Amino acid sequence: MARPEFWKLSSCEMGCNGLFDKDVTEGKLVYQNCTTTCAFTYETEAGNAFLACAMANSCVEFPPIPGSCPYKQEHIKPGSSLAAGSGEWWQQRGKNALWDCYDCQHIHEMKLVNDSDFCAKTVAPGGVVESPCWSYTYSHDLYLATGGTRTFEQTLQLPADTPEGERIDIYYSYMGSWHNESWFILDSTDTYWILGDCSYMQDWVIYGSILWVRPGHTLTATENAGIAKTYKEKLGWEFDDFCHDRHEGTCRLTPGDHNNNDDNNNPAAGKSETKPKNWYRARPGQRKPFVHPKDIEDYLQQQQQQQRMA
């Protein structure tokens, strides 16, 4: 029998399907947040492995979210590299209304590591990431289908051999789904750096930009004006349109903690899980398939009652 969390995940994800055509946001952000909320709420190692295997063998496809990457070579700060992001940083402003606006986005540490075994944990199309590489530990809060939020954290291996002033291509797994991104460092100082990113997963093309700020630093009026000028001159974007998110002193420090008051802005909060009728058609003499969390809970309660009576 499959683990209950897997059936709950499947049911929850099915509940997102009705949002796809109705979602008129650029990049289908409401739909994306719904699927991410389900994946994170009912995540298991087995479920992640199953999705990774299914994607690698073309057994699962996602409806396309077309788009294009707005960044060009001319937008990259000359001579820049991932060294601009070494150390610890908190995100204070974001462009993408979903991925760049989750609360408490935190680079715990980015450091150069000379360890072939560690770097080789990430495999890119050209082979494993070579040593030395950048060890990149980050976290952010994600919504839960059961209400509130929980902190997601992982460590990636980023390439250190990209020439200065060039686009940086990275590859990673996110809860079982495989992604590749292109990073563009638009500007950097000792107190902040501006990251532009384009993310690709199958036929999904998503872009955004994050303003990373040193812990304890308050941006000055001059710095804010310079950041706004960078976005306006390079991309025609208004910095005032970027979101503000919670950071530093307003965030929990221990991954996994819950805050049940964090779901007010969750686009998926009002979603109800569906019960596809065709999944309920059991063959004569067979048990009805599990498709909904309530079915699983009822079944487990029945099993517990039978064990107590035995």
**Contact status, residue 133 vs residue 170, Cβ threshold 8 Å:** no
What is the DSSP-derived secondary structure letter of residue 177? E
Q: Are 186 and 194 in contact (CB under 8 A)?
A: yes
Q: How many angstroms separate the CA atoms of 284 and 173, rounded?
A: 41
Q: Residue 240 is which amino acid?
A: D
Of the candidates 179, 185, 241, 169, the one whose C-alpha atom is nearest the C-alpha of residue 205 is: 179
Any long-range contacts for 112-115 (C-beta under 8 Å, 24+ apart)?
112/83, 112/86, 112/160
Domains and CATH numbers, the chain: 4-250 (2.40.128.20)
pLDDT given for residue 282 in this prediction: 31
Distance CA 80, CA 90 (A): 20
244-259: pLDDT as tens digits: 988 888 886 555 554 5
Tell me the CA end-to-end span of the chain in Å, nearest whole number. 21
pLDDT < 70 stretches in the chain? 1-2, 55, 176-177, 252-304, 306-307, 310
Residue 290's alpha-carbon distances to 121, 214, 262, 283, 300, in angstroms, are: 36, 48, 30, 14, 11
pLDDT per residue as tens digits for the range 69-95:
999 999 999 999 999 999 999 999 999
Position 280 scores a pLDDT of 29
- Strand-pair category, 177-188 with 123-124: unpaired
- Cα separation, 261 vs 49, in Å, equals 31
Q: How far apart are CA 139 and CA 105, in angstroms?
A: 6
pTM for this prediction? 0.79
Other beta carbons within 10 angstroms of residue 33's beta carbon come to 25
Residues 6+ apart with CB under 8 A from 78: 165
